[in-house]
Amino acid sequence: MQLLISNSSKEPIYNQIKDQIKQKVLSGELQEGHALPSMRQLAKDLHISVITTKRAYEELEKEGYIYSIIGKGSFIAEQNVDMIKEKKLTAMEEKLLEVIANSKEIGLSLKELKEWITILYEE
Amino acid sequence: MDHVIELKNVNKSYNHFSVSNVSVQIKKGFVTGIIGSNGAGKSTIMRMILNLVKPDSGDVHIFGMDYAKHEKSIKDRIGFIYSEDVLYDELTLQDQKKLIAPCYSQWDDTLFRQYCDTFELPLKQKLKSFSKGMKVKATLAIALSHKADLLIMDEPTAGLDPVFRREFLDIMQDIMLDGNKSIVLSTHIMSDLSTIADYITYVQKGRIAFSKEIHELQENYAVVRGGIELLDRDTEQCFLAIKKTRTGFEGLSANLNEAESLFGNEAVIEKASLEDIMYYMQGGKNVAVVN
Amino acid sequence: MLLLIKKDLVIHKLSWLLYFAMLLFFMMFNKDVLFVVAIMSAIVIMNTFHFDELANGNKLWNSLPFTRKEIVSARYNTLLVVLIIVTTVAMAAARIINGEWSSAFSSLAIWEEVIGSFIVMTVSASIFFPLVYKFAQKKTIFTFVLLFIGTSIAGAYAVSYLYKYLIESTSIIQSMGNGLYWATLAFGSLVCYVLSWGLSLKIYKAKEFI
């Protein structure tokens, strides 16, 4: 499992870990039952303190992404990926509508908007 | 048992200095950093933990036991590193090991040889030919080879180069893979701590100013910079310490959210580093500590 | 505690060869056993303190699984062990060099010299050990080493002159008997040693290792 941590980011490190694992779950890279490295091993690999990985795992567990078995470690929990995707899509739709409204206000054409999005998407 | 070290209302006074009413609990399985400026009482506290100095009053419990009755079994499970040499210059590392190994019930010679290999320590050279870094490595190899549950390190990286400090931190992280081991270290080098420490205990003028999880510090403590006109009796209460200069003020707040809602965009608000926290709380030059 | 005594002896390493060489040197110059044993034991035991102090040994051994009581007691026992070693070697040397059990320069019998050196060493250690535990530091330890050795040499002369004086000018020894005389002195110095041991324990327990 690859995780990239930035020490200079404003985002707390445990949040970075949490978000990246979540993303890997949603993208299907991490499947149900997949064993995560122990929090102590992860702390060593990332050169961070144990309490940071502990917090990341605890929060992931609270949000239902992973589960832990004492003595065995932490595993990816069963995900209702469709439902999570549905939620995300609704949120995106709202944002897109906002973008469209703004474009119309300043007279940006659909074609121009599409081009702009294409450029950003491919970046 | 969750606490490897427990100090309860510990007092120790000297002529010009005293450590008063210190209560600390050190959690098992984690790294605790003890910070504070020179003469704040860090070392006195570390020495009381090791029974090198006895408190005037109060209780010191290590692994739930006290020194009066269990000194030997406590020390059998402690590994120690000091900033000064505690090895015999005229002996070789091999000789030194022969003296120390039989003192511990759990000494593992294979492990010791492994560490000597990893640290590239010559066994047959007199210790006086060792560099400062090698001497620290030698003490470290000894401390790690008797399967100590608790490592106590007083300024272990003082005077060592950055390359070795990084290696040292790696070794610490290796040790922490075992959830039954705990590390307490006092240091001046804050960057060492932000990498490995789980808890920070700050000693100031002989008292414990705070003892917190590292996230609490990283998330809540902030340095605020702004114009003097932003300060009044109410807003000053938001700070632990304020430094006023001709160009404005700098203050340390223990409540990032409050600072943000109070000053919003009118001031620059940044997360405080451990060094910032120490500097301001210390009440350095021109810094007024807010009560 | 045996480990601590062993360590007290082992830290000298090759210095032991030097000690034995010095011992032989003194014997060759017809110094008596009393003198040689006193000076050599004094050198060895004080060097132990010296090495320990330079290596921050107090901090080291107090961080290892030992109690302060063991650390102090070990040192009092080490002196006795050193006395036995040095006496044995000195007697063997005397036998080889002089071909008989006593040296020509002494009016004392060999067993009297052995007891005499025991008395000198226990009494000077009784005085110096507590002082060293109380006051010695890295910078001052060497002064204590010299003072101790000086006292031991003076003690050796004192014991032999006192005997001479008592024999020649008084009738104390004649009336109480040689055996009783030495036994009384030995017993007295042993009492001193035990009291000093207790005092050192008290001092060392209150000591702070910084």
Residue B51 has pLDDT above 90, yes or no: yes
- Domain stops at, among B214, B233, B261: B214
Give percent above pLDDT 70 in chain B: 97
Which partners does chain B have (≥3 C-beta pairs < 8 Å)? A, C
> Which residues of B fall within a CB distance of 8 Å from C13?
90-91, 95
User: Do B66 and B60 form a contact (C-beta atoms < 8 A)?
Assistant: yes
- Rounded to whole angstroms, the Cα distance separating C72 from C78 reads 10
Question: What is the pLDDT, as a whole number, of residue C184?
Answer: 93
Same domain? For B38 and B81 the reply is yes
Give the pLDDT band of residue B219 (cuts 50, 70, 90): confident
Q: Does A53 touch chain B (CB under 8 A)?
A: no
Provide the number of structural domains found in chain C.
1
Q: Is chain A adjacent to chain B, meaning 3+ CB pairs within 8 angstroms?
A: yes
Question: What is the pLDDT, as a whole number, of residue B33?
Answer: 93
Same domain? For B178 and B76 the reply is yes
CATH code, B123 = 3.40.50.300
Is C126 contained in some domain? yes
Is C145 contained in some domain? yes
| Residue of A14, A50, A53, A72 to mutate, interface with B, max B Cβ within 10 Å | A50
Rounded to an integer, the average pLDDT of B191-196 is 81
CA distances B244 to B5, B287, C133, Å, are 40, 7, 52
> Which residues of B fall within a CB distance of 8 Å from A14?
215
Mean pLDDT score of chain C, rounded to an integer?
89
- Rounded to whole angstroms, the Cα distance separating A51 from B251 reads 28
Same domain? For B201 and B275 the reply is no
Residue B109 has pLDDT above 90, yes or no: yes
Q: Which is higher by pLDDT, A80 or B79?
A: B79
For residue B143, count other CB atoms closer than 10 A to its CB: 20
CB-CB under 8 Å, B218 with A51: no
Residue extents of the structural domains in chain A: 13-76, 81-122
Nearest residue in chain B measured CA to CA from C11: B91
- Rounded to whole angstroms, the Cα distance separating A57 from B208 reads 30
What letter does residue B233 receive in the DSSP assignment?
A: H
Nearest residue in chain A measured CA to CA from B218: A12
Which partners does chain C have (≥3 C-beta pairs < 8 Å)? B
User: Do B119 and B137 form a contact (C-beta atoms < 8 A)?
Assistant: yes
Question: What is the pLDDT, as a whole number, of residue B231?
Answer: 81
Residue C105 has pLDDT above 60, yes or no: no
Give the pLDDT band of residue C72 (cuts 50, 70, 90): very high
- Rounded to whole angstroms, the Cα distance separating A121 from B15 reads 70
Report helix angle C2-10 to B93-100, nearest 10.
160
Gap from A65 CA to chain B (nearest CA, Å): 22
- Rounded to whole angstroms, the Cα distance separating C52 from C44 reads 12
Gap from B137 CA to chain C (nearest CA, Å): 16
> Which residues of B fall within a CB distance of 8 Å from C6?
99
- Rounded to whole angstroms, the Cα distance separating A98 from A111 reads 17
User: Do B187 and B35 form a contact (C-beta atoms < 8 A)?
Assistant: yes
- Domain stops at, among B163, B187, B214: B214
Q: Does B104 touch chain C (CB under 8 A)?
A: yes
Of A9, A17, A11, A10, whose CA–CA distance to A60 is shortest? A17
Give the pLDDT band of residue A5 (cuts 50, 70, 90): confident
CB-CB under 8 Å, C67 with B51: no
Residue B225 has pLDDT above 60, yes or no: yes
- Compare CB distances from B86 to C59, C65, C206 and report the shortest one's residue: C59
Is C41 contained in some domain? yes
Question: What is the pLDDT, as a whole number, of residue C27?
Answer: 83
Residue C183 has pLDDT above 70, yes or no: yes
Give the pLDDT band of residue C101 (cuts 50, 70, 90): low
Residue A99's φ and ψ, nearest 5 degrees, are -60, -45
Rounded to an integer, the average pLDDT of C112-127 is 92
Mean pLDDT score of chain A, rounded to an integer?
87
Cβ-proximal residues to B231 (8 Å cutoff; 6+ apart), any chain:
B242, B244, B249
Give percent above pLDDT 90 in chain C: 57
Pick the CATH number of A13-76 from 1.10.10.10, 1.10.3720.10, 3.40.47.10, 3.30.559.10: 1.10.10.10
Gap from A14 CA to chain B (nearest CA, Å): 9
User: Do C63 and B86 form a contact (C-beta atoms < 8 A)?
Assistant: yes
Q: Which is higher by pLDDT, B16 or C29?
A: B16
- Domain stops at, among B192, B214, B236: B214
Gap from B23 CA to chain A (nearest CA, Å): 22
Domain range enclosing C144:
2-205
Of A43, A3, A39, whose CA–CA distance to A23 is shortest? A3
Rounded to an integer, the average pLDDT of B75-99 is 91
Same domain? For B24 and B149 the reply is yes
Same domain? For B271 and B167 the reply is no
> Which residues of C fall within a CB distance of 8 Å from B45?
none
Question: What is the pLDDT, as a whole number, of residue C83?
Answer: 94
Predicted structure pTM score: 0.84
CB-CB under 8 Å, C56 with B90: no
- Rounded to whole angstroms, the Cα distance separating C148 from C159 reads 16
Provide the number of structural domains found in chain B.
2
* ipTM (interface predicted TM): 0.85
Domain range enclosing B59:
3-214
Give the pLDDT band of residue B290 (cuts 50, 70, 90): low
Is C210 contained in some domain? no
Question: What is the pLDDT, as a whole number, of residue B291?
Answer: 55
**Cβ density class B88-123: b for 16+ within 10 Å, e for less:** bebbbbebbbebbbebbeebeeeebeebbeebebee
Q: Does C3 touch chain B (CB under 8 A)?
A: yes
pLDDT digits (tens, 9 = 90+) for C198-208: 999 999 999 98
User: Do B287 and B239 form a contact (C-beta atoms < 8 A)?
Assistant: no
Gap from A120 CA to chain B (nearest CA, Å): 30
CB-CB under 8 Å, B102 with C51: no
Residue A85 has pLDDT above 80, yes or no: no
Residue C192 has pLDDT above 80, yes or no: yes
Question: What is the pLDDT, as a whole number, of residue C210?
Answer: 81
Same domain? For B68 and B181 the reply is yes
Residue with tokens 């032989």, as numbered in its chain: C24
Give the SS3 label for residue B61. Answer: strand
Question: What is the pLDDT, as a whole number, of residue C111?
Answer: 84
Of B27, B22, B28, whose CA–CA distance to B8 is shortest? B22
Among A80-89, A98-107, B34-43, C84-93, the range scoring the smallest mean pLDDT is A80-89
Give the pLDDT band of residue C19 (cuts 50, 70, 90): very high
Give the SS3 label for residue B56. Answer: coil
pLDDT digits (tens, 9 = 90+) for C24-58: 888 887 678 888 889 999 999 999 999 998 888 89
Question: What is the pLDDT, as a whole number, of residue C74?
Answer: 95
> Which residues of A fall within a CB distance of 8 Å from B213?
51
Residue B165 has pLDDT above 90, yes or no: no
> Which residues of C fall within a CB distance of 8 Å from B90?
11, 13, 51
Task: Report how many helices (DSSP H) and strands (DSSP E) chain A contains, helices first.
Answer: 5, 2
